[in-house]
Amino acid sequence: MKHMSSNMIALKTIWIKECTRFLRIWIQTLVPPAITMTLYFIIFGSIVGERIGTMSGVGYMEFIVPGLIMMSVITNSYSNVASSFFSAKFQRNIEEMLVSPVPTGAIILGYVGGGVARAMIVAVIVTLVSFLFVDIQIAHFGYVVLTVILTSTLFALGGLLNGVFGKTFDDISIVPTFVLTPLTYLGGVFYSVSLLPDIWQKVSLVNPILYMVNGFRYGFLGQSDVGIATAMAVLIGFNVIFFAGAYYLLEKGIGIRS
């Protein structure tokens, strides 16, 4: 019991440190997503949406809201952990944690918890902003919460992996720029994949972000381009793989002690 208690204290300490880190500079971490999403709603929702009309039987603005919230969740959970973990590695702080009695799992969960906390706060802020533009009724609240937790956890783990492999601060921006951004825009945020030719619909199914966006959209609108069970399975599967990968790398000290 004493050993478990000390592990929980370690986990709580890392998590509080991570949360304090982004809350201290809230103007840089929490305000920009609200401004960015407001611009998306004005440009894509109001201006473009009026010309498109409906998408999959619902108003275009209503259709893109879940995708825009998910974009914010992905970006913030990833960037929070990637920058924080790399900074700890760069300053040699992470080495002190790894040689201490703190279990590897607690270190991972502490950093990931910080990324998830930031993503959840941003998700609430962006959702409140969306209410200024469209009246949305949440069809399945449980799926909304489950999807946002699994997605933020997944990309927080991805940010940690990026921090492990990153050699310089510039490496932290490579994955978001060349991988996350294209996959997000091609993940059905602004359109239904059912509108694509058959060949591109099949190609889109390889994009994991498609399942996250549609899982979230199902929670809001009660409709999805992919099966909700499949979406949940993909999210859980990737979380397990990413956690196992992060655990293995930290246990072996790969990318840190070398």
Helix or strand holding residue 55 (H, E): strand 54-55
In a domain, 40, yes or no: yes
Kindly tell me if the per-residue pLDDT of 4 is higher than 70: no
Question: What pLDDT sits at residue 8?
Answer: 85
In a domain, 257, yes or no: no
Q: Give the mean model confidence (pLDDT) for residues 9-38.
A: 90
DSSP 139-194: S-HHHHHHHHHHHHHHHHHHHHHHHHH-SSTTHHHHHIIIIIHHHHHTTTSSS-GG
Task: List the structure tokens of 166.
Answer: 């990153």
Pick the range with the lowest mean pLDDT from 1-15, 21-35, 73-87, 152-166.
Answer: 1-15
Kindly tell me if the per-residue pLDDT of 175 is higher than 70: yes
In a domain, 78, yes or no: yes
Residue 230 sits in which domain range?
A: 2-252
In a domain, 18, yes or no: yes
pLDDT tens track for 218-254? 999 888 888 899 999 999 999 999 999 999 998 888 8
Asked if residues 70 and 150 have their Cβ atoms less than 8 Å apart, the reply is no
pLDDT tens track for 196-221? 888 888 888 899 999 999 999 999 98
Domain count across the chain:
1
In a domain, 258, yes or no: no
When pLDDT is cut at 50, 70 and 90, the band that residue 1 belongs to is: low
Cα-based torsion angle of the residue sequence 138, 142, 143, 145 in order, rounded to the nearest 10 degrees: 90
